[in-house]
Amino acid sequence: MSNKITSCFTIILLFYLGACKENPKENNTEAIKTIAVKDTLPTVIEPEEETEDEFELTEENAIDFFFDYQKNLTVNKVKLTTNLGSFTVQLYDNVPYHKANFIYLTRKGYFDYTMFHRVVKNFIIQGGNADNKETSRKRRDIGKYLLPPDTRKGYKHHRGTLSMPSSEIDNPHMLASPYEFFIVVTKPGSYHLDGSYTPFGKVIQGMDVVDKINNVAVDSGDWPKENVYIEKAEVLE
């Protein structure tokens, strides 16, 4: 009888010890799961953080926004690097809304991988658009708005002038399309544009690159046959 009790006790003890040895495996599995969950947290949190910081420009708030934005601007130069070379533009300080808009969009990364989508020989190169979903998404995120013309500061459309096209949509007042710009290539200039479009800067370095872009082959709609990308636009601080 005593031997039977001892045997039963031994079996129970071995069963208990065996169960205890399995616990570390369970704990390790749980730890791996926790690490895996933690590793996925950034991709879950980031969209929420971006949503909190979201700001959308509209017809109602754009002017007030750029009025305040330009007050603290101490920079006025932007470098545009294309797949055909780079050039630098200097923005006019007394055309504040257009200057602020261009710097704001540059800092937001809007112009990166947009294109010079319209090239008219011996006239202009026009950039800031692209036929891809990413550019449409950027515009949608930044907002839908136009800028008032500012043509009375005495600037003319000399060769190398940076100017802003007007929107083609229901626009009797020639409001400017803020996402696009054009650069005059004509020698000495295209002065028939004065009074209708807003010059807000000029090319100060790399005009040879502008000419190179103006000389690319284009189709019947003035779209370059080989895409000319703005690979990077950066404010020179």
Q: What is the pLDDT of residue 170?
A: 61
pLDDT digits (tens, 9 = 90+) for 4-59: 444 544 444 444 444 444 444 444 333 322 222 223 223 233 333 444 457 999 99
Q: Give which of 197, 235, 212, 216 is closest to 104, Cα–Cα.
A: 235
For the residues 76-95, what does the mean pLDDT come to?
A: 98
Residue range 159-186, pLDDT digits in tens: 999 999 886 666 666 788 899 999 999 9
Tens-place pLDDT, residues 188-225: 999 999 998 999 999 999 999 999 999 999 999 999 99
Per the model's pLDDT, the better-predicted residue between 139 and 24 turns out to be 139
Q: What is the mean pLDDT of the chain?
A: 82
Dist. CA 215–CA 237, nearest whole Å:
31
Pick the CATH number of 62-235 from 2.60.40.1170, 3.40.50.620, 2.40.160.10, 2.40.100.10: 2.40.100.10
* Nearest of 140, 203, 151 to residue 175 by alpha carbon: 151
Q: Tokens 């100060």 — which residue? A: 204
In the chain, count H helices and then E strands. Answer: 5, 8
**Residue-wise pLDDT tens digits, 87-116:** 999 999 999 999 999 999 999 999 999 999
Write down the pLDDT at residue 122. Answer: 97
CB 173 within 8 A of CB 197: no
Residue 148 buriedness (CB in 10 A; 0-12 / 13-18 / 19+): middle
Per-residue model confidence (pLDDT) at position 173? 67
Cα 223 from chain centre:
22
Q: What is the pLDDT of residues 223-234, one digit of tens each?
A: 999 999 999 999
The residues near 37 (Cβ < 8 Å, ≥ 6 apart) are none
Q: Where are the beta strands (DSSP E) in the chain?
A: 77-82, 85-91, 114-120, 124-129, 161-164, 181-184, 198-205, 229-235
2-to-7, 8, 41, 74, 186 alpha-carbon distances in Å: 9, 10, 60, 96, 113
d(C-alpha 132, C-alpha 205), whole Å = 29
Round to whole Å and give the CA distance between 125 and 163.
11
d(CA 116, CA 230): 7
> What residue spans define the domains of the chain?
1-54, 62-235
Q: What is the model's pLDDT at position 14?
A: 44
- Predicted local distance difference test score (pLDDT) of residue 166: 82
